[in-house]
Protein backbone atom coordinates (compact mmCIF):
# COMPACT_ATOMS: atom_id res chain seq x y z
CA UNK A 1 0.00 0.00 0.00
CA UNK A 2 1.46 3.34 -1.02
CA UNK A 3 1.92 6.12 1.46
CA UNK A 4 -0.47 8.33 -0.47
CA UNK A 5 -3.08 5.63 -1.01
CA UNK A 6 -3.60 4.79 2.67
CA UNK A 7 -5.54 7.81 3.94
CA UNK A 8 -7.79 7.91 0.88
CA UNK A 9 -8.52 4.21 1.13
CA UNK A 10 -9.31 4.46 4.79
CA UNK A 11 -11.59 7.42 4.32
CA UNK A 12 -13.50 5.68 1.51
CA UNK A 13 -13.79 2.48 3.51
CA UNK A 14 -14.82 3.38 7.02
CA UNK A 15 -17.11 6.32 7.48
CA UNK A 16 -20.21 4.42 6.43
CA UNK A 17 -19.72 1.82 9.16
CA UNK A 18 -20.55 3.75 12.24
CA UNK A 19 -21.44 7.31 11.23
CA UNK A 20 -25.12 8.02 11.68
CA UNK A 21 -26.92 9.79 8.88
CA UNK A 22 -28.53 13.08 9.76
CA UNK A 23 -31.75 11.88 8.13
CA UNK A 24 -31.73 8.89 10.45
CA UNK A 25 -31.64 11.30 13.39
CA UNK A 26 -34.63 13.19 12.04
CA UNK A 27 -36.66 10.13 11.08
CA UNK A 28 -35.92 8.12 14.18
CA UNK A 29 -39.03 6.45 15.53
CA UNK A 30 -38.86 3.81 18.22
CA UNK A 31 -42.52 3.81 19.29
CA UNK A 32 -41.63 6.29 22.00
CA UNK A 33 -43.80 9.08 23.30
CA UNK A 34 -43.60 12.02 20.89
CA UNK A 35 -44.39 15.61 21.55
CA UNK A 36 -44.82 17.94 18.62
CA UNK A 37 -45.30 21.65 18.21
CA UNK A 38 -46.94 22.57 14.94
CA UNK A 39 -47.74 26.02 13.66
CA UNK A 40 -48.14 27.89 10.38
CA UNK A 41 -45.25 30.12 9.41
CA UNK A 42 -47.38 32.81 7.89
CA UNK A 43 -50.32 32.92 10.29
CA UNK A 44 -49.27 36.28 11.73
CA UNK A 45 -49.59 38.92 9.00
CA UNK A 46 -50.88 42.45 8.73
CA UNK A 47 -54.45 43.52 7.95
CA UNK A 48 -56.22 40.44 9.23
CA UNK A 49 -54.51 37.74 7.17
CA UNK A 50 -55.25 35.27 9.94
CA UNK A 51 -58.95 35.48 9.24
CA UNK A 52 -58.24 34.96 5.54
CA UNK A 53 -56.50 31.72 6.32
CA UNK A 54 -59.41 30.67 8.43
CA UNK A 55 -61.89 31.47 5.67
CA UNK A 56 -59.85 29.49 3.13
CA UNK A 57 -59.86 26.38 5.26
CA UNK A 58 -63.22 26.84 6.95
CA UNK A 59 -62.29 26.08 10.52
CA UNK A 60 -58.49 25.63 10.37
CA UNK A 61 -57.14 24.50 13.73
CA UNK A 62 -53.91 25.75 15.20
CA UNK A 63 -52.73 22.83 17.29
CA UNK A 64 -50.13 22.68 20.01
CA UNK A 65 -49.83 19.06 21.12
CA UNK A 66 -49.44 18.59 24.85
CA UNK A 67 -49.27 15.64 27.17
CA UNK A 68 -51.11 17.69 29.82
CA UNK A 69 -54.45 19.56 29.62
CA UNK A 70 -54.87 22.13 26.82
CA UNK A 71 -54.09 25.74 27.62
CA UNK A 72 -55.85 28.80 26.26
CA UNK A 73 -54.07 31.98 25.37
CA UNK A 74 -55.90 35.28 25.72
CA UNK A 75 -55.49 38.66 24.13
CA UNK A 76 -57.51 41.84 24.50
CA UNK A 77 -57.74 45.13 22.57
CA UNK A 78 -60.90 46.76 23.80
CA UNK A 79 -62.84 43.77 22.48
CA UNK A 80 -61.56 40.62 24.13
CA UNK A 81 -60.31 37.96 21.79
CA UNK A 82 -59.67 34.42 22.87
CA UNK A 83 -57.50 31.89 21.08
CA UNK A 84 -57.76 28.34 22.32
CA UNK A 85 -54.82 26.07 21.86
CA UNK A 86 -56.15 22.55 22.08
CA UNK A 87 -54.63 19.08 22.31
CA UNK A 88 -54.76 16.81 19.30
CA UNK A 89 -53.47 13.38 18.42
CA UNK A 90 -49.86 13.18 17.19
CA UNK A 91 -49.62 14.48 13.65
CA UNK A 92 -48.48 12.30 10.82
CA UNK A 93 -45.19 12.98 9.06
CA UNK A 94 -44.97 16.73 8.57
CA UNK A 95 -42.87 18.60 6.04
CA UNK A 96 -41.98 15.37 4.27
CA UNK A 97 -44.34 16.20 1.41
CA UNK A 98 -42.58 19.43 0.49
CA UNK A 99 -45.17 21.71 2.10
CA UNK A 100 -43.10 24.70 3.16
CA UNK A 101 -45.97 26.53 4.84
CA UNK A 102 -45.84 24.36 7.92
CA UNK A 103 -42.85 23.89 10.19
CA UNK A 104 -42.73 21.07 12.68
CA UNK A 105 -40.72 20.97 15.86
CA UNK A 106 -40.32 17.61 17.48
CA UNK A 107 -39.05 16.61 20.88
CA UNK A 108 -38.66 12.88 21.37
CA UNK A 109 -38.65 11.57 24.92
CA UNK A 110 -38.30 8.04 26.20
CA UNK A 111 -41.45 6.65 27.68
CA UNK A 112 -39.38 5.47 30.64
CA UNK A 113 -38.58 9.09 31.46
CA UNK A 114 -42.23 10.07 31.19
CA UNK A 115 -43.37 7.25 33.42
CA UNK A 116 -40.75 8.16 36.00
CA UNK A 117 -41.83 11.77 36.05
CA UNK A 118 -38.54 12.97 34.55
CA UNK A 119 -40.11 14.56 31.51
CA UNK A 120 -39.09 18.19 31.37
CA UNK A 121 -42.04 20.44 30.56
CA UNK A 122 -40.11 23.70 30.89
CA UNK A 123 -38.88 24.06 27.27
CA UNK A 124 -42.38 23.62 25.85
CA UNK A 125 -43.99 25.81 28.48
CA UNK A 126 -41.50 28.52 27.63
CA UNK A 127 -42.31 28.16 23.94
CA UNK A 128 -46.02 28.30 24.73
CA UNK A 129 -45.56 31.48 26.74
CA UNK A 130 -44.03 33.15 23.69
CA UNK A 131 -47.35 32.98 21.84
CA UNK A 132 -48.91 36.41 22.08
CA UNK A 133 -51.89 38.26 20.63
CA UNK A 134 -51.23 41.32 18.51
CA UNK A 135 -53.90 43.65 19.81
CA UNK A 136 -53.03 46.54 17.51
CA UNK A 137 -54.44 45.00 14.35
CA UNK A 138 -56.58 42.31 15.94
CA UNK A 139 -54.49 39.50 14.50
CA UNK A 140 -53.05 36.67 16.50
CA UNK A 141 -49.25 36.49 16.28
CA UNK A 142 -48.24 32.86 16.68
CA UNK A 143 -44.48 32.89 16.15
CA UNK A 144 -42.92 30.31 18.50
CA UNK A 145 -39.42 30.88 19.82
CA UNK A 146 -37.85 27.47 19.22
CA UNK A 147 -34.41 28.42 20.50
CA UNK A 148 -35.18 26.77 23.84
CA UNK A 149 -36.27 23.47 22.36
CA UNK A 150 -33.64 20.80 23.05
CA UNK A 151 -31.81 19.70 19.93
CA UNK A 152 -31.25 16.02 20.59
CA UNK A 153 -29.48 13.73 18.17
CA UNK A 154 -30.14 10.07 17.60
CA UNK A 155 -27.04 9.24 19.63
CA UNK A 156 -28.19 11.33 22.60
CA UNK A 157 -31.57 9.59 22.54
CA UNK A 158 -29.84 6.21 22.55
CA UNK A 159 -27.59 7.24 25.44
CA UNK A 160 -30.60 8.45 27.43
CA UNK A 161 -32.24 5.09 26.91
CA UNK A 162 -29.20 3.05 27.98
CA UNK A 163 -28.27 5.28 30.92
CA UNK A 164 -31.82 5.36 32.33
CA UNK A 165 -31.90 1.57 32.77
CA UNK A 166 -31.79 0.18 36.30
CA UNK A 167 -28.85 -1.98 35.25
CA UNK A 168 -26.60 -0.72 32.46
CA UNK A 169 -26.14 -2.95 29.43
CA UNK A 170 -22.34 -2.79 29.16
CA UNK A 171 -22.15 -4.19 25.63
CA UNK A 172 -24.59 -1.60 24.33
CA UNK A 173 -22.88 1.17 26.28
CA UNK A 174 -19.49 0.29 24.80
CA UNK A 175 -20.89 0.32 21.28
CA UNK A 176 -22.40 3.76 21.80
CA UNK A 177 -19.36 5.21 23.57
CA UNK A 178 -17.01 4.14 20.77
CA UNK A 179 -18.50 6.82 18.54
CA UNK A 180 -18.31 9.59 21.15
CA UNK A 181 -20.18 10.37 24.36
CA UNK A 182 -22.47 13.38 24.89
CA UNK A 183 -20.88 15.76 27.38
CA UNK A 184 -23.69 15.44 29.94
CA UNK A 185 -23.19 11.66 30.10
CA UNK A 186 -19.41 11.50 29.68
CA UNK A 187 -18.29 11.54 33.34
CA UNK A 188 -20.76 8.84 34.38
CA UNK A 189 -20.00 6.66 31.36
CA UNK A 190 -16.24 6.90 31.95
CA UNK A 191 -16.70 5.94 35.59
CA UNK A 192 -18.83 2.94 34.64
CA UNK A 193 -16.58 1.71 31.83
CA UNK A 194 -13.49 2.13 34.02
CA UNK A 195 -15.13 -0.07 36.66
CA UNK A 196 -15.51 2.62 39.30
CA UNK A 197 -19.29 2.93 39.31
CA UNK A 198 -21.51 -0.15 39.50
CA UNK A 199 -23.78 -0.85 36.55
CA UNK A 200 -26.66 -1.18 39.02
CA UNK A 201 -27.96 2.31 39.75
CA UNK A 202 -29.28 1.37 43.19
CA UNK A 203 -25.76 0.55 44.38
CA UNK A 204 -23.97 3.65 43.16
CA UNK A 205 -24.51 6.01 46.08
CA UNK A 206 -23.27 3.49 48.64
CA UNK A 207 -20.33 2.52 46.43
CA UNK A 208 -19.26 6.15 45.95
CA UNK A 209 -19.46 6.86 49.67
CA UNK A 210 -17.35 3.79 50.48
CA UNK A 211 -14.67 4.44 47.86
CA UNK A 212 -14.36 8.12 48.70
CA UNK A 213 -14.03 7.20 52.36
CA UNK A 214 -11.26 4.71 51.54
CA UNK A 215 -9.37 7.37 49.64
CA UNK A 216 -9.62 9.84 52.54
CA UNK A 217 -8.16 7.18 54.82
CA UNK A 218 -5.30 6.61 52.36
CA UNK A 219 -4.53 10.35 52.28
CA UNK A 220 -4.35 10.46 56.07
CA UNK A 221 -2.12 7.39 56.11
CA UNK A 222 0.34 8.34 53.37
CA UNK A 223 0.20 12.06 52.70
CA UNK A 224 -0.92 13.93 55.82
CA UNK A 225 2.08 12.87 57.87
CA UNK A 226 5.31 14.51 58.98
CA UNK A 227 8.12 14.38 56.46
CA UNK A 228 10.42 13.04 59.16
CA UNK A 229 8.41 9.82 59.24
CA UNK A 230 8.90 9.14 55.50
CA UNK A 231 11.63 6.83 54.26
CA UNK A 232 14.29 8.12 51.90
CA UNK A 233 12.50 6.45 48.98
CA UNK A 234 9.18 8.02 49.93
CA UNK A 235 10.78 11.43 50.19
CA UNK A 236 12.32 11.02 46.73
CA UNK A 237 8.98 9.96 45.28
CA UNK A 238 7.25 12.95 46.82
CA UNK A 239 9.96 15.26 45.50
CA UNK A 240 9.57 13.87 41.97
CA UNK A 241 5.80 14.28 42.11
CA UNK A 242 6.07 17.87 43.30
CA UNK A 243 8.54 18.62 40.49
CA UNK A 244 6.35 17.09 37.78
CA UNK A 245 2.99 18.55 38.79
CA UNK A 246 3.82 22.13 37.66
CA UNK A 247 4.98 20.67 34.34
CA UNK A 248 1.62 19.00 33.76
CA UNK A 249 -0.25 20.63 30.85
CA UNK A 250 1.31 24.05 31.61
CA UNK A 251 -0.39 25.61 28.60
CA UNK A 252 -3.84 24.91 30.12
CA UNK A 253 -4.96 27.52 32.67
CA UNK A 254 -6.86 24.94 34.72
CA UNK A 255 -3.67 23.07 35.57
CA UNK A 256 -1.91 26.24 36.66
CA UNK A 257 -4.49 26.60 39.42
CA UNK A 258 -2.99 25.86 42.83
CA UNK A 259 -6.03 23.93 44.04
CA UNK A 260 -5.82 21.62 41.06
CA UNK A 261 -2.08 21.18 41.50
CA UNK A 262 -2.58 20.29 45.14
CA UNK A 263 -5.09 17.51 44.46
CA UNK A 264 -2.98 16.21 41.57
CA UNK A 265 0.13 15.98 43.71
CA UNK A 266 -1.73 14.26 46.52
CA UNK A 267 -3.46 11.61 44.40
CA UNK A 268 -0.27 10.83 42.45
CA UNK A 269 1.74 10.37 45.64
CA UNK A 270 -0.94 8.21 47.27
CA UNK A 271 -1.09 6.05 44.13
CA UNK A 272 2.68 5.61 44.17
CA UNK A 273 2.66 4.59 47.83
CA UNK A 274 -0.05 2.00 47.23
CA UNK A 275 1.65 0.58 44.12
CA UNK A 276 5.30 0.08 45.12
CA UNK A 277 5.99 -2.29 42.21
CA UNK A 278 5.93 0.60 39.80
CA UNK A 279 5.78 3.62 42.11
CA UNK A 280 5.59 6.99 40.39
CA UNK A 281 6.90 7.34 36.82
CA UNK A 282 6.87 10.43 34.66
CA UNK A 283 3.89 10.28 32.35
CA UNK A 284 1.39 9.10 34.93
CA UNK A 285 0.74 12.74 35.80
CA UNK A 286 -0.41 13.35 32.21
CA UNK A 287 -2.90 10.48 32.38
CA UNK A 288 -4.77 12.16 35.22
CA UNK A 289 -5.50 15.34 33.25
CA UNK A 290 -8.40 14.10 31.05
CA UNK A 291 -10.06 12.57 34.11
CA UNK A 292 -9.84 15.85 36.02
CA UNK A 293 -11.25 17.83 33.09
CA UNK A 294 -14.20 15.50 32.46
CA UNK A 295 -15.15 14.95 36.11
CA UNK A 296 -14.86 18.65 36.92
CA UNK A 297 -17.02 19.58 33.91
CA UNK A 298 -19.68 17.21 35.21
CA UNK A 299 -20.35 19.59 38.10
CA UNK A 300 -21.06 22.34 35.54
CA UNK A 301 -23.26 20.45 33.08
CA UNK A 302 -20.42 19.61 30.71
CA UNK A 303 -19.20 23.16 30.10
CA UNK A 304 -15.60 23.87 29.11
CA UNK A 305 -13.54 24.19 32.29
CA UNK A 306 -10.06 24.51 30.79
CA UNK A 307 -9.84 28.24 31.54
CA UNK A 308 -9.90 27.38 35.25
CA UNK A 309 -12.54 29.94 36.23
CA UNK A 310 -14.73 27.31 37.87
CA UNK A 311 -12.06 26.78 40.51
CA UNK A 312 -12.88 30.19 41.97
CA UNK A 313 -16.18 28.95 43.35
CA UNK A 314 -15.88 25.15 43.54
CA UNK A 315 -16.62 24.06 47.14
CA UNK A 316 -13.97 22.07 48.97
CA UNK A 317 -16.41 19.21 49.42
CA UNK A 318 -16.81 18.89 45.65
CA UNK A 319 -13.05 19.14 45.17
CA UNK A 320 -12.50 16.28 47.63
CA UNK A 321 -15.04 14.15 45.73
CA UNK A 322 -13.35 15.01 42.44
CA UNK A 323 -9.94 13.99 43.82
CA UNK A 324 -11.20 10.63 45.04
CA UNK A 325 -13.01 9.88 41.78
CA UNK A 326 -9.92 10.72 39.70
CA UNK A 327 -7.72 8.60 41.96
CA UNK A 328 -9.85 5.47 41.64
CA UNK A 329 -10.44 5.82 37.89
CA UNK A 330 -6.72 6.42 37.32
CA UNK A 331 -5.98 3.36 39.43
CA UNK A 332 -8.34 1.20 37.37
CA UNK A 333 -6.96 2.59 34.10
CA UNK A 334 -3.34 1.90 35.12
CA UNK A 335 -4.17 -1.61 36.32
CA UNK A 336 -4.52 -2.66 32.67
CA UNK A 337 -1.19 -1.13 31.60
CA UNK A 338 0.84 -1.27 34.80
CA UNK A 339 3.86 -2.86 33.13
CA UNK A 340 4.20 0.37 31.17
CA UNK A 341 5.51 1.92 34.39
CA UNK A 342 7.45 -0.87 36.07
CA UNK A 343 11.23 -1.19 35.83
CA UNK A 344 12.47 -0.67 32.22
CA UNK A 345 8.82 -0.13 31.19
CA UNK A 346 8.44 -3.38 29.19
CA UNK A 347 4.86 -2.53 28.20
CA UNK A 348 5.95 0.64 26.43
CA UNK A 349 8.84 -1.18 24.74
CA UNK A 350 6.41 -3.82 23.49
CA UNK A 351 4.06 -1.22 22.01
CA UNK A 352 6.92 0.58 20.22
CA UNK A 353 7.97 -2.70 18.58
CA UNK A 354 4.40 -3.41 17.49
CA UNK A 355 4.11 0.07 16.01
CA UNK A 356 7.28 -0.34 13.95
CA UNK A 357 6.14 -3.74 12.68
CA UNK A 358 2.73 -2.36 11.75
CA UNK A 359 4.04 0.69 9.91
CA UNK A 360 6.51 -1.50 8.02
CA UNK A 361 3.58 -3.53 6.69
CA UNK A 362 1.48 -0.57 5.58
CA UNK A 363 4.11 2.01 4.55
CA UNK A 364 7.47 0.45 3.83
CA UNK A 365 8.68 3.60 2.05
CA UNK A 366 8.34 5.62 5.23
CA UNK A 367 10.18 3.01 7.28
CA UNK A 368 12.98 2.89 4.71
CA UNK A 369 13.33 6.67 4.77
CA UNK A 370 13.51 6.78 8.58
CA UNK A 371 16.11 4.00 8.60
CA UNK A 372 18.25 5.75 5.99
CA UNK A 373 18.32 8.87 8.15
CA UNK A 374 19.10 6.89 11.28
CA UNK A 375 15.80 7.72 13.01
CA UNK A 376 14.63 4.91 15.28
CA UNK A 377 11.00 4.42 16.28
CA UNK A 378 11.98 4.40 19.94
CA UNK A 379 13.24 7.98 19.62
CA UNK A 380 9.81 9.46 18.92
CA UNK A 381 7.17 6.84 19.73
CA UNK A 382 8.29 6.09 23.28
CA UNK A 383 6.58 9.29 24.40
CA UNK A 384 3.50 8.43 22.34
CA UNK A 385 3.13 5.20 24.27
CA UNK A 386 4.21 6.49 27.67
CA UNK A 387 1.88 9.53 27.62
CA UNK A 388 -0.80 8.13 25.28
CA UNK A 389 -0.46 11.06 22.82
CA UNK A 390 -1.43 13.56 25.50
CA UNK A 391 1.46 15.79 24.46
CA UNK A 392 0.57 15.58 20.77
CA UNK A 393 -3.07 16.74 20.96
CA UNK A 394 -5.17 19.41 22.59
CA UNK A 395 -6.98 18.16 25.68
CA UNK A 396 -10.37 18.57 24.01
CA UNK A 397 -9.25 16.16 21.31
CA UNK A 398 -7.84 13.78 23.92
CA UNK A 399 -11.19 13.64 25.68
CA UNK A 400 -12.87 12.54 22.44
CA UNK A 401 -10.06 10.05 21.80
CA UNK A 402 -10.53 8.58 25.26
CA UNK A 403 -14.23 8.03 24.66
CA UNK A 404 -13.14 5.35 22.22
CA UNK A 405 -10.16 4.10 24.24
CA UNK A 406 -12.29 3.56 27.34
CA UNK A 407 -14.99 1.77 25.34
CA UNK A 408 -12.37 -0.66 23.95
CA UNK A 409 -11.43 -3.51 26.25
CA UNK A 410 -7.77 -3.07 25.25
CA UNK A 411 -7.98 0.55 24.19
CA UNK A 412 -5.02 2.03 26.03
CA UNK A 413 -2.58 -0.54 24.70
CA UNK A 414 -3.85 -2.55 21.73
CA UNK A 415 -6.00 -0.01 19.92
CA UNK A 416 -3.64 2.84 20.83
CA UNK A 417 -0.93 1.30 18.64
CA UNK A 418 -3.23 1.48 15.60
CA UNK A 419 -4.03 5.11 16.39
CA UNK A 420 -0.32 5.92 16.50
CA UNK A 421 0.23 4.11 13.20
CA UNK A 422 -2.61 5.99 11.50
CA UNK A 423 -1.33 9.27 12.90
CA UNK A 424 2.21 8.63 11.68
CA UNK A 425 1.14 7.53 8.20
CA UNK A 426 -0.98 10.64 7.73
CA UNK A 427 2.27 12.62 7.56
CA UNK A 428 4.21 10.09 5.49
CA UNK A 429 4.61 12.31 2.35
CA UNK A 430 5.87 15.24 4.41
CA UNK A 431 8.21 13.09 6.50
CA UNK A 432 9.75 11.47 3.43
CA UNK A 433 10.65 14.93 2.13
CA UNK A 434 12.33 16.02 5.40
CA UNK A 435 15.92 15.94 6.51
CA UNK A 436 17.09 14.29 9.73
CA UNK A 437 16.83 17.48 11.77
CA UNK A 438 13.45 18.33 10.30
CA UNK A 439 12.07 14.90 11.15
CA UNK A 440 13.23 15.10 14.74
CA UNK A 441 11.83 18.62 15.05
CA UNK A 442 8.49 17.43 13.66
CA UNK A 443 8.22 14.65 16.21
CA UNK A 444 9.36 16.87 19.05
CA UNK A 445 6.71 19.47 18.20
CA UNK A 446 3.97 17.28 16.74
CA UNK A 447 1.37 19.30 18.59
CA UNK A 448 2.01 22.20 16.21
CA UNK A 449 0.53 20.12 13.39
CA UNK A 450 -2.59 19.22 15.38
CA UNK A 451 -3.32 22.51 17.12
CA UNK A 452 -6.30 23.20 14.85
CA UNK A 453 -7.74 19.70 15.11
CA UNK A 454 -11.31 19.20 16.29
CA UNK A 455 -13.47 16.15 16.93
CA UNK A 456 -13.86 15.79 13.17
CA UNK A 457 -10.15 15.11 12.64
CA UNK A 458 -10.01 12.85 15.69
CA UNK A 459 -12.90 10.79 14.39
CA UNK A 460 -11.22 10.48 11.01
CA UNK A 461 -8.08 9.28 12.78
CA UNK A 462 -10.15 6.73 14.70
CA UNK A 463 -11.74 5.62 11.43
CA UNK A 464 -8.33 4.95 9.92
CA UNK A 465 -7.24 3.17 13.09
CA UNK A 466 -10.29 0.95 12.99
CA UNK A 467 -9.52 -0.12 9.44
CA UNK A 468 -5.93 -0.94 10.39
CA UNK A 469 -7.19 -2.93 13.36
CA UNK A 470 -9.58 -4.80 11.08
CA UNK A 471 -6.84 -5.57 8.56
CA UNK A 472 -3.94 -6.38 10.85
CA UNK A 473 -5.45 -7.06 14.26
CA UNK A 474 -8.34 -8.91 15.81
CA UNK A 475 -10.84 -6.50 14.25
CA UNK A 476 -13.13 -6.84 17.25
CA UNK A 477 -13.78 -3.24 18.15
CA UNK A 478 -16.38 -2.46 20.76
CA UNK A 479 -18.87 -0.91 18.35
CA UNK A 480 -18.89 -3.96 16.05
CA UNK A 481 -19.62 -6.73 18.51
CA UNK A 482 -22.55 -9.08 18.04
CA UNK A 483 -25.82 -7.52 17.08
CA UNK A 484 -24.39 -4.31 15.63
CA UNK A 485 -24.34 -4.23 11.85
CA UNK A 486 -24.23 -0.50 11.25
pLDDT of residue 278: 87
Which comes out higher in pLDDT, residue 80 or 413? 413
- Mean pLDDT, to the nearest integer, of 209-238? 96
- Mean pLDDT, to the nearest integer, of 75-81? 39
> Domain residue spans in the chain?
5-20+353-480, 32-152, 195-335
Q: Residue 201 pLDDT more than 50?
A: yes
Q: Residue 461 pLDDT more than 50?
A: yes
Q: What's the pLDDT tens digit per position in 53-74? A: 444 444 434 333 333 343 333 3
- Mean pLDDT, to the nearest integer, of 316-328? 97
Which comes out higher in pLDDT, residue 472 or 485? 472
- Mean pLDDT, to the nearest integer, of 32-50? 39
Q: What's the pLDDT tens digit per position in 263-291? A: 999 999 999 999 998 889 999 999 999 99
Give the CATH number of domain 5-20+353-480: 1.10.472.80
Model confidence band, residue 474 (pLDDT cutoffs 50, 70, 90): low
pLDDT over 90 percentage in the chain: 63
- Mean pLDDT, to the nearest integer, of 76-104? 38
Model confidence band, residue 473 (pLDDT cutoffs 50, 70, 90): confident
Question: Which of 17-31, 68-82, 333-347, 468-482 has the highest average model confidence (pLDDT)?
Answer: 333-347
pLDDT of residue 150: 59
Task: Reduce the secondary structure of the chain to three states and give it as a string.
Answer: CCCCHHHHHHHHHHHHHHCCCHHHHHHCCCCCCEEEEEEECCCCCCCCHHHHHHHHCCCCCCEECCCCCCEEEEEEECEEEEEEEECCCCCCCCCCCCCCCEEEEEEECCHHHHHCCCCCCHHHHHHHHCCEEECCCCEEECCCCHHHCCCCCHHHHHHHHHHCCCECCHHHHHHHHHCCCCHHHHHHHHHHHCCCCCCEHHHHHHHHHHHHHHHHHHHHHHCCCCHHHCCHHHHHHHHHHHHHHHHCCCCCHHHHCHHHHHHHHHHHHHHHHHCCCCCCCCCHHHHHHHHHHHHHHHCCCCCCCCCCHHHHCCCHHHHHHHHHHHHHHHHHHHHCCHHHCCCCCHHHHHHHHHHHHHHHHHCHHHHHHHHHHCCCHHHHHHHHHHCCCCCCCCHHHHHHHHHHHHHCCCHHHHHHHHHHHHHHHHCHHHHHCCCHHHHHHHHHCCHHHHCCCCHHHHHHHHHHHHHHHHHHCCCCCHHHCCCCCC
Q: What's the pLDDT tens digit per position in 361-414? A: 999 999 999 999 999 999 999 999 999 999 999 999 999 999 999 999 899 999
pLDDT of residue 343: 86
Amino acid sequence: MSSRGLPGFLRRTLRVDYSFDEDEDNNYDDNKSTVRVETAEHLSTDNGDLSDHANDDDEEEIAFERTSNPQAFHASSGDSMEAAVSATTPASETNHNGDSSVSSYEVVEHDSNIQNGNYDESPRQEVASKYAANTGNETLDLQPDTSQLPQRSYREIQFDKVMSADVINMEELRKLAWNGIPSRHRATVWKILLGYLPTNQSRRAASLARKRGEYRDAVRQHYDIDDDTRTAQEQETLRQVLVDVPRTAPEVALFRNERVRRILARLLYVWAMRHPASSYVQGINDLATPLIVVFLADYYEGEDVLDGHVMNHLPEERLDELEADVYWCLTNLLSGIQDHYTSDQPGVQRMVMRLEELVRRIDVDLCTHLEEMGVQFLQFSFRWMNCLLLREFDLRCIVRLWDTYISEKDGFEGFHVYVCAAFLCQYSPQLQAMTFDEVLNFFQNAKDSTQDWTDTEIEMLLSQSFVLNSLFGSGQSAHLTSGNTR
